[in-house]
Structure 1
Amino acid sequence: MTTPPPQPPQGPYGAPQGPYGAPPPPQQNPYGQPNPYAQQAPYGQQNPYAQPPAPGPQPFGHPQGPPPFGFPQGPPPPRRSRTGLIVGITVGAVVAAGSIAFGVSRLADSGVSAVGGGFPAAKYRLTVPKKLLDEEYTLLKDSSSTEGREIEKTYDPSIRDAKAVVTQYTSSAGGTLVISGLWGRIKGPEFTRDKILEGATQAKGMTIAVPAREFTPDGYGVTVSCQVVRAKDGAITSTIPMCAWGDDNTASFVAVVTPEIALRAPEKVDLERAALDTARVRAESRKPIGATEAG
């Protein structure tokens, strides 16, 4: 009987070892030359530094793909850029702020008691256009029938017959426009406007970086209040301008954020431009009751 040749000693994971306990030579590629990029990796783990073989026919009828005894390998997935992270966090923060913008103004009896006069007649309403700001922003999500219902159901002594509008728009350049508003009969428009901004800053991780200022954009007949907040999520901090308006029939929170604004220092934000954008949103979405909604 022929004695079988001695087997090489086994490594800690059952793989053969070379002489004197040294690791075996590197894997051979299909053409018999050592793979200069291959490095040993523990059994069951992918080598992050190895590269797949060059494409082309393989000998002995092997199919196209990785070496016969190797693990599937490839370049690691690309890391998400810091700008992408900031923009994503900013959008989430703006949406969260819009959803609670009316949280402080609701049940604000002490402030309303100082507002004289009765409730105005209902003449205007807020609509949900498919596009805003000269068609730069396109409607992405209309949450008026869900999140808006929470606004409508919450008691507010300063507003009668409230109907809510909660929407999110996007632009091809990566901008986000969030609206959280209502329409009805508003007894104290300025009081409601200021409380909307106060409520928006109650979202988690937000701090006021530039206090609210009032603007009256030419040709729009409304005073808009705007501020800048910083939204922090872990190690990421972003910049968000917020504005609000209030009149006898409509009041709304508006935030227009682009990737450039999200990365900007708070004091560098153009609040006058933010106020103008808010006035334009009001002009494009506020319509007389009974008028046909623009598509």
Structure 2
Amino acid sequence: MVTILALGAALAYGVADFLGGAVSRKSTALRVLVWAVPAGLLVVAVSALVHGGSMEAAPMAWGFLGGVCGGAGMMTFYRALARGPMSVVAPVSALAGAVLPVGVGTLRGERLDVAVLLGVLLCLVAIGLVSMEPRKGDAPSPGRRRLLDSGPLTAAVSGTCFGIFFVLLKTAGDGTGLWPIVGARVGTLAVVVAALAVVAARGDLGPPVPGRTLLLLALLSGALDAGANVLYFVAVHAGMLSLAAVLTSLYPAITVLLARIAYSERLQAVQRIGMAIAIAGVALVTVG
């Protein structure tokens, strides 16, 4: 069950990244997030009401802090990819986002079977490989998280933010239903609003999202991202943090595949190898 939920989260994140990136090509990442994040908040709020549970202060606070970290990582990642090669930024960020929860889970006493551990290690390798692109043409490609600079350090900061987000959603607990996810989306919205205020003060908002179709795609991106949050939250509370976070972090494979289909972007040999390794890793995790 954990494997299915976490892979479902990876699928939803990957599609959300692709759609958000596609719309960002016609506008700006911040403009897209202004539409996407509130749409996601609406989705998780309705889901929380339907699922039941109660809004308790501590879980909501943990969720809010996680959302702030996730939002900060998202803004940083977008900026980094806008300024530097994805071949540097994406692998480091994705790996940092996956390795941190593994480390925290291990410190908390989580122990994986040999087959599952090998599968997790293969997935970590795959995350880096499927995210890699040629260095030429530093234009950003579809993706959900983009940063401040192109260097490995800022990419690691972004990934660390995502890793903290994963950890804090586990810390929030599952005794209050899906309300911690609502808190997380509010935290992310707070980061977007703060960034919007700063950019607006500089008069550098960029072009608005053009056309009804692209606006709908931005809203759909936000809804899918929120759905991925819910799937990950359920997965991480149904099993181990280390396993759920690593499988969820396979989302770049989905984005890369969709870019290949929609834009006829050629998969590099290293990306094809990464796809194969990811399949092997998931198979080992499932069998284990």
Common fold: TM-score over 0.5 = no
TM-score normalised per structure 2: 0.25
